[in-house]
Amino acid sequence: MSILYDMMRPVLFSMEAEKAHNLSIRALKLGLLPHVSNQIDPILRTELFGLTFPNPIGLAAGYDKNAEVLKEVSNLGFGFVEAGSVTPRPQAGNPKPRIFRLVRDEAVINRLGFNNQGLELAAKNFSGRDKAGIAGANLGANKDSDDRIEDYVLGMRKLAPLASYVTVNISSPNTPGLRALQGKGELEDLLGRLMDTRKNIVTEGATFFPILLKIAPDLTDQDKSDIAETVMAQGIDGLIISNTTITRLNTLLDPRKNEPGGLSGQPLKDISLSVLKDMYRATRGQLPLIGVGGIQSAEDAYRRIRAGASLLQLYTAMIYKGPYVAAHIARGLVQKLRADNFTSVKEAVGVDTPLSD
């Protein structure tokens, strides 16, 4: 099936990137892609957050903005899917063009700006997610919101009872001022209100749900320390590390490298890996971490797990490696775990990131 994608890729890459993305969503809706099981091998089965993941390779938020193809993506071999980011009210996002392939760098720059159709449609789609497996809802705030924390509260109230977990995305670089919520005081306020909201939702009869926080890679050492202290104190269930970067490495080759927006793909790999290790140490290995950013191979995935990630996510790799990249990575990961005599993913988590005394 990778051969088929290799044949189709020149056609897709001849299209404007967002048009190709929308075409792929339509293809999934029409059932044009063969199904691949996500039950790759028992060694990959991972218990986390009270959920059982058939394999640790998930689809990152950003692809399925409105939770339109949850089941269809699961049928590509992903162990879990995260949809969004979803804002309370629909918004168009930033002007087009706003997605740029950096082909020479196997990267993407996007400045989408939380384009989505809002909570009502997302809730409808999540409510019909039969056989979709584990599906998380990634929450965002409207660009023109007067109270962005309230936007996350509204999103949680609407989608948490329907999703497997919720992710609080305060790390997109494409909504002005959003990353300020990663500051210590702002983060304490945000997470405090969200934890109170979860308690109320569960008291009202909903099933308990995990809350994850997605952070940026562009953080100072003090930022990382503050985030670790705050999430541990508030009882957040896990961190997703990391979102796209605004850093532009001098090694980038593609002429579009200076387009404004968040950079993802291969150039993000080492940056995200470094933040993952730092946060694993800062949380003393006591908080589950999801590694994302530049993962395109089994070697990338295994390195991220050994650095401290319990689960993984990818998106840009689908663009360059094809729709079945998750299944391909998962099969390679099985071989690497067995070669090192591990009997589970959990056993390998953090072995390359010793915790200081």
Give the catalytic positions in this structure: 172
Strands 262-265 and 211-215: unpaired
Give phi and psi for 112, each to the nearest 5. Answer: -60, -45
Distances, alpha carbon 295 to alpha carbons 52, 105, 312, in Å: 22, 14, 8
In whole angstroms, what is the distance from residue 231 CA to residue 227 CA? Answer: 6
Work out the burial of residue 71: count CB atoms within 10 Å of its CB; fewer than 13 is exposed, 13-18 middle, 19 or more buried. Answer: middle
> Does residue 190 contact residue 170 with C-beta atoms inside 8 Å?
yes
End-to-end CA distance of the chain: 48
In whole angstroms, what is the distance from residue 61 CA to residue 84 CA? Answer: 5
DSSP string covering 90-139, please? Answer: -B--SPSP-EEEEGGGTEEEE---S-B-HHHHHHHHHHT-TT--SEEEEE
In whole angstroms, what is the distance from residue 273 CA to residue 276 CA? Answer: 5
